Chains A and B, each alone.
Chain A
């Protein structure tokens, strides 16, 4: 619907729609974390130390976000090489995040925190698991961005900037969402 756009608008409808979707995803996690607080205050709550590997995965996700942002800036200033390299780096780091989260789960399991055990452990798996699903969505979007980057002829158009902007926005969102969840899990355990 390019044609219905009104030049008066500062924000593109697709971007606005994405932000609305992020708001609703946020509500979902707000529900999880408030359920977490309610359940925790009801007692019978196992306390455990979060394995160190989750600090690494958090770092990896943040760096991935920085690279994707760098790629976006490079694209806008028509720096093809940085654009492609940073995009690939961001993607690889995103995949690495998933691997590290999985390793983190294994580490949790080895210290006796089981999905089926105490509810505190179940919540940890639930929060990180559902977040992981959203990261997978972001990776899928990045795959599309990669296909664009390597199959289309390099040219900086408004449309491509806008589409890439959506990917970057969403990736920053899952990034910040994880930072929120991680800090939440750290202070409320």
Chain B
């Protein structure tokens, strides 16, 4: 039956489709012929998407392992870490008489810095948006490939290069950069400021400049492709929600990353050419530097002008993916499609007006803060609209509770939990008490860390068949989900309490502070769950790589009975995505359970008298 349906669909594409003479040229196959150009320097968006994903997974393992090591230090400061010396070498200082190994404090800071940098940029920006924008944009809008496959390839290789440079910096004898992922001067501007501020910072900045180039090349491509290469009938208001999300994400990246690049340029001038953009009145070892007239706050402004949109660069793709996955597996149209799109736009717009809420305690004028408080709290409105729409989509749905759906629901749970604490922190008055405590750590880890990861997992489990032609193991997937959500709450829930009690973040040890000593047990619990969470992620990694070769094979083109165009392409990837014509689109992407039909794909023409779209 399924086979018959699929044949029928092929006929539809053939008859109704749109002939762009793609397969008459064949020059597309030139760069696909050899192994190197097929799998390594590939220009095919589907291969590039998988490259982004696998690279992102490798970075995620490294970043997560780092967090486990510094959680060890926080949870079990008395225990010996000598067993990890083979891995960390001189950064574990072993006392020769007792044999007790301690994590070097400067390396603790390096680990925290690298954990942030890696997860924010390499995993949740490149790994999430890079993967799914590349995979889904051409497939869901009905394009043969990206507008410029060559720039697309460059985008991946710049990311790869950024990764190599950052990875190399981990092995420097002075250690990687250790001044926090935000790289505030003077720690980042003066090579003599700390051991990681020398070569470590130089490599950090070079790596991130490469990364900015990668994001810009990718973003330019995504926007151009979405605006110019949609198939016939695919109007903007018929685009699936992930495409809208990727579109706004790319615009945010294009407008905010250059500002970060400006900040980096000035930082490089300060570091290497002796200017004083960010430096003033600095004493090192009792000696006053001759660098005067600059302002470190200026860097914070430039950094957070990227930094805040960056949060939405991370979360918007996850939101788009969740909307799609949820609608497919609830067998219901997404509730309030237009409201969803307008919310994405509103969040994107507002994200540029709120950056100083990261700087309430940095000496910004309190009257100016009011402005930023106001806009920050307004973001709650489009976010709430989205949350209510997801919940309403679930309501009365014919829900398939499989792994992608579980992660999509988990995303909403995490987004609510983390979003609510955002309302606390967005108030500058409350922020005076909360700033730089574990409350902040808990807030942003839940709302943009765990939530974005959940969106990413939902996407990986859902589109895995499209990427690899096989399914991931469902049981292991569910183990992964329940383990992760329980551990995530068990890690970050207690952090709210210790944060409200005033425990500051970024401290190496609390032993010497009477006020924070009694949170030792709580820190132990958090650490134990962090280790558990790490092992649950290994379940995912094993499942992922095992399924590439041994997973259950995908037998029909459209296993989820979804409406979007990517499920009309053949199971075996081909260059140009569709063997013959490109499908023509006749309806929006969410015709589930409409007029007695369980699902109606986008390329199926309207019946006589049928009213299309939303």
Contacts and interface: CB of A to CB of B under 8 A. Distances in A.
Interface of A: 1-6, 9, 11, 13-14, 16-17, 20-21, 23-25, 27-32, 35, 38-39, 42, 44, 115-116, 118-119, 122-123, 126, 130
B22 A3 contact: yes
B350 interface: no
B266 A13 contact: no
A25 B595 CA distance: 50
B220 A21 contact: yes
B254 A20 contact: yes
Interface in B446-478: none
Given A1-B145, A35-B262, A119-B293, A17 B220 contact: yes
A108 to B, nearest CB: 14
A123 B20 CA distance: 51
Of A2, A4, A32, A115, most buried by chain B (CB within 10 Å of CB) is: A4
B302 A31 contact: yes
Contacts of B599: none
Contacts of B277: 35, 39, 119, 122-123, 126
Contacts of A4: 20, 22, 143-145, 229
Nearest to A12: B228
Contact of A126 (B22, B149, B269, B298): B269
B301 A38 contact: yes
A140 B216 CA distance: 20
Nearest to B279: A119
Interface residues of B, number: 49
B254 A116 contact: no
Interface string B269-307: 100011111000000000000001111001001100100
Given A4-B145, A23-B255, A119-B275, A35 B302 contact: yes
23 contacts: A3-B20, A4-B144, A6-B229, A13-B147, A13-B148, A13-B229, A16-B227, A20-B220, A23-B254, A24-B220, A24-B254, A25-B258, A31-B263, A38-B301, A115-B269, A115-B275, A116-B273, A116-B274, A116-B275, A119-B294, A122-B275, A126-B265, A126-B277
B22 A130 contact: no
Contacts of A119: 275-277, 293-294
Nearest to B228: A13
B151 interface: yes
Given A122-B275, A130-B265, A3 B224 contact: no
A24 B216 contact: yes
A99 B238 CA distance: 53
Contact of A24 (B20, B28, B258, B275): B258
A154 B298 CA distance: 52
Contacts of B256: 27
A38 B294 CA distance: 11
Nearest to B22: A3
B298 A13 contact: no
A27 B144 contact: no
A115 to B, nearest CB: 6
Interface in B129-173: 143-149, 151
Given A3-B25, A17-B148, A17-B220, A31 B228 contact: no
A6 B266 CA distance: 42
Nearest to A3: B22
Interface string B1-33: 000000000000000000011100100100000
B439 interface: no
A13 to B, nearest CB: 4
Contacts of A130: 265
Contacts of A42: 295
A128 to B, nearest CB: 13
A24 B144 CA distance: 26
B293 A118 contact: yes
Contacts of B275: 115-116, 119, 122, 126
B223 interface: yes
B113 interface: no
B259 A28 contact: yes
A3 B21 contact: yes
Given A4-B20, A24-B254, A27-B254, A122 B144 contact: no
A39 B258 contact: no
A35 B148 contact: no
Contacts of B292: 44
Contacts of B261: 28
B563 interface: no
Nearest to B223: A20
Contacts of B42: none
A4 B143 CA distance: 7
Nearest to B269: A126
Contact of B228 (A6, A35, A122): A6
B59 interface: no
Contacts of A28: 258-259, 261-262
A20 B255 contact: no
B221 interface: yes
Contacts of A118: 293
B486 to A, nearest CB: 42
Contacts of A2: 25
B558 interface: no
B262 A32 contact: yes
A6 B231 CA distance: 8
B225 interface: yes
A1, A28, A123: which has the most chain B beta carbons within 10 Å? A1
Contacts of B293: 44, 118-119
Question: Which of A2, A27, A39: most chain B Cβ within 10 A?
Answer: A27
Contacts of B22: 3-4
Contacts of A29: 262
B258 to A, nearest CB: 4
Contacts of A16: 147, 223-224, 227-228
Q: Which of A6, A35, A38 has the most CB of B within 10 A?
A: A35
A79 B152 CA distance: 36
A20 B243 CA distance: 18
Contacts of B274: 115-116
Contacts of A25: 258
B327 to A, nearest CB: 28
Nearest to A25: B258
A21 B217 CA distance: 8
Contacts of A6: 20, 228-229, 232
B257 interface: yes
A1 B148 contact: yes
A38 B298 contact: yes
Nearest to B274: A116
A27 B255 contact: yes
Contact of B148 (A14, A24, A122): A14
A27 B223 CA distance: 16
